[in-house]
Every structure is written in structure tokens, then in C-alpha cells.
Chains A and B, each alone.
Chain A
């Protein structure tokens, strides 16, 4: 073999097993079993998702060019993924030229180390944070805490989740599973010096959070943020939010550290025109979100004087290497697919065990972290956590065909699973049903089921079908299949009579 042979290109690494928040501790059906019994969660989720759905439909319906916007968003993202390496290098050049420093993190572990080092260099043992999924994905807060650095979440819902030592259950509404009585309890217990007479009026709860957070904004020297978009052409970063807490974090501290997934890059500044229309309308159902912050490197005398951008891979290149699956990287995390998903609406976000729940999470999580990393990997259940109803595809502002991606991941799963009972059954079914004679014989054999039936219904079915028969009756097989009927004298007579009826109708028409 010649010395220049470099071997097959290795599969790009996924998020390392056992790190970050991209894998639950059990499979979806087991986790959903418990969540389905949480009445509070189900009613909160039902109410919230229905409200957001209606708002979204209203503000997307009023735009005459909504479909064209979706097409544009999809095209820009697809173009971005097709030339991701060059765009990232362009982004790095432009951020550096404007006084920022760019760091490349292969995975969450590296990103956590980089951020921790940068925080330490400032001498601070506290950071304030803008809501960020990337840092949740890699478990940054936990990592910082293990080093004695306290991270304060400043988004109201994230703050509630953090104070409750909980995990977010929704991309956009992380505390959707909590009601205001619970929030009051959490605040009374966790916010130092809070007024003990605090009641459950939303404005009062927000006031308590505000007083607590203002103090943090004024005294903390370092902030960590995520980014919704990074513009290659100019080196501009952008955060889109509702509360203004993000704006405070992005402007008040001395040092800003932004952790951005590499798929968030956009080629041109002009592309924001499309995404700043798509994102708020799809996510909160607003025409425009209240705060859109943009910054480019460092501006002397204005805002943070030290800016670091950490570009995070953590399995994204592995997703990009998948010809069909890469479409999932087009996601702009609007959460529209979650809000329309009937499975998410019932089971809730925690059942997915990942920072990314719902339809897109069921695709993205296995792509980033793998689904065969251990025996019975919980992530292998995620692609099956969908009835493939397609509501997500219709809602997605960048037209990601999520049902097809789920089917693709199911296929990847069965291909990697070796021989299973299910695969043998599928093979057998395929073999029977591709031989009409054998198929007809099997059909006849199914009539035997009639012997077991009572009142025309089959009794409870054995595993793995017992879940079905727990809540649904199964009709007994009919006396005769369609094909047997058609071949019978009765069937032939019925078809002859139907044709004759047409002829009679024709004659009547003609006779008129």
C-alpha cells in the first residue's frame, strides 16, 4: 500500500457517551408512562400548546407570502449546509477582524473546558446566562458548578427550572410543566431574601424574579450566551428573545462568551430578513419578538470589551455526513413542531430525555449522540415516538420533512440492530405477502381466529400486542375475504347488478 493512502475517512464523532444532556436514562415508552399520569403536566401542556397553535396560525395565515418565506428559509439553510466549512471559516475571519476570539470545540467536553478556562481567566466565580440550548445540550452549568463557578440563568422560565433543580421540558417555554402555585413555592424556597408574603399573581412573581436578577446583572462580570444566528459575511451574532434579560447579559458584563452550534451560521446579513420573519411567527406566534440583539466583535467603549465565540460541533458533522438526515440541521429551534405534535402534547418534553424534545428532538438527539452507543440505548426509542401524522412537517418554517427523517432513522436503527424477532417477523411477512398463493392460504388460516371470538371481537391479545388490546377491541376476521367474495357467485352477481344499474341509469338519461 502506498504511503499516501490515508484510509477511509473516519465517521465524524458523535457527542461522547455519558456527557451532556442528549440521552435520558430510559426509553420513551417507559418515561411517557409516568408523564402521562401527571395530570398537571397534561393540562398545562394541552392548554399552552393549543393557545400557541392558534396564535401561530393567525400570524402565519395573514402573510400572503408565508409559503415563499418558508421556501426561502429552507433554501438558505440547505445552501448553508452544503458549504458549511467555508462559511464557518468566513465567520471566524470576520469575528477575529472585529476583535473577537473564535474557539473550535469538537464536542461538549471541549466546549465546557474552553468556557471554564475563559471564565477563570477573568477571575470571576459567577456567570450570568442567556437562555441557550447549546449550553444546556453540553451540560455547561453542571460543569461550571463542579469547578466552583455559579451560573445564573436569567430567562424567567429558565430561572424557575434552575431554582427548582429541574430540567426544561420545552424549547421555548422551559417551565411549561409548572403552574403558578408551584412557581411561588420555588421562589419562596430558593430566592434569598424574597418577601415571605409573596402571592401567586403572575406580575408579583415576575417582580420577585426581576429584583433578584437585576442584582445579578449589575454585579456579574461575565456572561455566557447562545446564538440564534451567526452571519458569516459580517461576523455578526444575534440573539432573539422576549424578556430583555438577554439584552442585559449581552451588553452589561465585561466579558461575553457565546457558544454556538456550527449549524447556526447564515451566509449573508440579508438572510436575517427571512429568518426574523419566520422565527417569531413560528415560535411565539408574534409578528416580531420584543428584543433582537446583534453584535459584531468588540466595540470600544460600548458593551463587553472581551468577546469569545465557541463553535460547537458535538455530533453535527456526523449528522451532516448523513445524506438524508442532514436536513435536520436546518432547524432554527422555533418549537412550532413541538406545539403541534400530538405525542409531545400528551407525553411532554421530559419523556424524550434530551435537551431537544418533540418531533425534531426525536430526530436530532439520536443524530448528535447516536442511538447505538450502549445496549438498549434509550435514544433508539426516539424515532419510534411518533405516529407519523405529519403535523410537524406542515408547521415547520424551514419545511423539514420530519416524518421522512423519522422513517429514515428507524431504518438506520433496524439496519444496525442485527437479527431481532421483529426483523424475522417482517421478513416472514414480506415472504408470505409476496407469494399470492401463500398469502391466500394465510388469509384462510386467519379465519381460525373466529373460533376465539366472542360477540364478533377477539379476546385480549398476547404480548407484544397487549398494549393495543388494553384499550381497543379487535374485530374477529370476517367469514370471507374480499377476494373470496369477489370470486363467489354472490360477488359476481353484485358486480353484475351494479353495472346493470349504470346501464339502466344511462338508458333513462338517454330516454329523457
Chain B
């Protein structure tokens, strides 16, 4: 399959390891990974903060970059960006776009997947041949869970990982408090939510808290690092791309 990789602006700029892992994983599974170099950002932050005119050029650029019929599927290692492409681009195009944009958005929307959806639903794999001999707990980010309805797909992928010690996260489906600009505009309420999430993460004794979205991981990871919780965050793709021959080297998290 010819898979268009959308790195997301956050992944491309701040968390490239998660994107590298996604690319390597898909190539290892025998797929051709294409990276349209004109790609930038999906505009999620704009829409969620109340701006719908300003992201029109971003939505258009996304549709242009990935619209090509030679790209069979578009994947992104982010539940919230996939949610934005699937649910918000249409809104922006309806309101402030033209007929061409509406058509472009509809085409790309239909072939856009978050990583675990692509693996399980489209490529039909749950065992990707990964090896990760550490204790891990999984946080199902809100947009993956409730906007995309990925359900237990990420967990099925994790359960198939060789030597993993997967432990359940208490109150897993509670929001970590990130919410994009929410964490800035309502920083104190966000922090109160983060504290409960961190307490639940550390209660599992896991070395790693994983998820399918670098933005939530930046939030949880930023908190864990600040309190020196002895646990770190790692993107799902980084666990899935770790193998016996080239294992992910986990360094001790600060305590």
C-alpha cells in the first residue's frame, strides 16, 4: 500500500521520534511511505480555539498535499489531528471554503486514519513484531476514544508486543487536562486534572505511559518530569517499532 504520512506540526517540529517510528514501522510492514514535503499543520488548534477563517489555507494545503489518487491512505500518529481532519475540515470548508475545497476535503477525509486504525482496520495486523520488555500503561486520549472511536485497537496492538508488561491505568478514560489552549487559558483547572492523571499513572508502577497522541503525551510527560515521578511518556508508535534486533533503549526517568 502507498501510505501518505502526515507528521503533524507538533510531531515534525517537537516530537520527531514518534513520526520516525511510524515511518519505520510501516516500511517494515512492507508499505511504501510517502511524505508530501509541502505538508504543515491540520489547523486543529485554530478551530478548537474558535478560529475558522484563519485555518482555511491550512485545510486547503492539507487536501492538496494528500488528495493525490496515488496515495491509498493517509496516516498520522495523532488521534486529535485525525479527528480534526475527519470532523473539522468539513465544517471549515462548508462555512468559508469553495466547492473545490469541499470536494478536496471529502476525498481526503475518507482515507484518513490514526495509526492504530490504519494498522488494525486497514492493514489487518495486530502483531507488528514488536519487542518491549518494560511495564507500560496506556492512556486512551479523548479524541482517539470519543471522536474517532478507536476503542481497544491500541490495546490489541500493545497486547501483541513481545515481553511487554501491560498494566491497566485506573480511570483511564478521564481527560489528562490538556485540551490545547485550554491548558493555557485554564491552566489551574488543567493542572488539577493532570495531577489526578499522574497519580493514576504512578499507581501502576509503570515505567512508561503511552498513548497515540504526542500532544497529550507532552502534557502528561511535562508533568511527570516536573514532579520527577520516575515514569516517562512514549508514543505508541515508539513501542510498536521497537524490535529484538533494534530495541528502544529506555533510560531511567528522573525521580
Contacts and interface: CB of A to CB of B under 8 A. Distances in A.
A51 interface: no
Given A386-B182, A502-B29, A433 B194 contact: no
Contacts of B60: 434
A386 B49 CA distance: 11
Contact of A32 (B56, B177, B188): B188
Given A411-B51, A481-B12, A436 B189 contact: no
Contacts of A346: 189, 192-193
Interface residues of B, number: 75
Interface in B202-247: 218-219, 221-223, 225-226
**Band of interface residues on A:** 35 or more
Contacts of B35: 483, 486
B13 A443 contact: yes
A291 interface: no
Given A426-B54, A430-B55, A389 B146 contact: yes
A342 B174 contact: yes
A82 interface: no
A218 B10 CA distance: 67
A28 B191 contact: no
B38 A436 contact: yes
A410 to B, nearest CB: 3
Interface stretch (A68-76, A258-266, A471-479): A471-479
Contacts of B174: 342, 391
A393 B147 CA distance: 10
Given A410-B49, A473-B226, A342 B177 contact: yes
Contacts of A422: 49
A506 interface: yes
Interface stretch (B14-22, B97-105, B112-120): B14-22
Q: Which of A36, A412, A439 has the most CB of B within 10 A?
A: A439
A429 B177 contact: no
Nearest to B11: A482
Nearest to A434: B57
Nearest to A491: B20
B40 interface: yes
Interface in B1-39: 7, 9, 11-17, 19-20, 23-25, 27-30, 33, 35, 37-39
Given A342-B174, A343-B186, A443-B12, A486 B23 contact: yes
A327 B58 CA distance: 29
A387 interface: yes
Contacts of B189: 29, 32, 36, 343, 346-347, 385
A413 interface: yes
A430 B184 contact: no
A495 interface: yes
A494 interface: yes
Contacts of A413: 50
Given A346-B192, A387-B142, 17 more contacts: A29-B186, A343-B193, A385-B189, A387-B175, A388-B48, A388-B180, A427-B54, A434-B58, A439-B40, A443-B12, A470-B191, A475-B221, A481-B13, A482-B20, A486-B23, A498-B23, A498-B27
23 contacts: A342-B177, A384-B182, A384-B186, A386-B179, A412-B50, A423-B51, A430-B55, A430-B57, A431-B57, A434-B60, A436-B61, A467-B185, A471-B226, A472-B183, A472-B222, A473-B223, A475-B218, A475-B222, A481-B16, A483-B7, A502-B29, A502-B30, A506-B30
Q: 10 tightest A-B contacts by CB?
A: A467-B187, A387-B179, A410-B50, A472-B222, A434-B57, A389-B175, A390-B146, A498-B27, A482-B16, A389-B142
